[in-house]
């Protein structure tokens, strides 16, 4: 293989660095960060989530969440709203060794 052929092979290989650090990937990251939408109603009878929080408040919460600058900050915001609670009373349906017992319950609150 001559040096001319080697140069042609090197020119044809795409650069991975340009794909990772280009403007297009930055735009795609921002779009994916800001593309969260409200889902359908959960229809829960206990808390009545969609009745307690009106559409305007939901839109404001979602807009503020989407404006957080990075996915890490979004995760940090969500983890701050979740509280871990110990299980207060166990009532296993099966014998103790067979039962799959949970160690904690998780509750969350959305600040309005």
DSSP labels, 32-82: HHT----------TTT-HHHHS-HHHHHHHHHHHHTSSSHHHHHHHHHHHE
Consecutive H or E run containing 21:
helix 16-21
Give the position of tokens 């660095």: 17
Q: What's the rounded Cα separation, in Å, for the pair 108 and 42? A: 15
Q: Does residue 44 register a pLDDT over 70?
A: yes
**What's the pLDDT score for residue 81?**
93
Confidence of residue 38 (pLDDT cuts 50, 70, 90): confident
pTM of the shown model = 0.62
**% residues pLDDT > 70 (the chain):** 80
């Amino acid at each position: 293989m001559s040096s001319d052929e080697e140069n042609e092979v090197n020119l044809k290989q795409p650069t991975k660095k340009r794909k990772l650090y280009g403007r297009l990937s930055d735009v795609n990251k921002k779009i994916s960060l800001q593309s969260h939408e409200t889902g359908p109603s959960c229809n829960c009878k206990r808390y009545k989530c969609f009745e307690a929080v009106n559409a305007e408040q939901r839109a404001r919460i979602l807009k503020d969440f989407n404006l957080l600058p990075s996915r890490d900050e979004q995760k940090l915001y969500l983890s701050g709203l979740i509280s871990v609670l110990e299980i207060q009373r166990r009532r296993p349906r099966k014998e103790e060794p067979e039962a799959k017992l949970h160690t904690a319950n998780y509750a969350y609150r959305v600040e309005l």
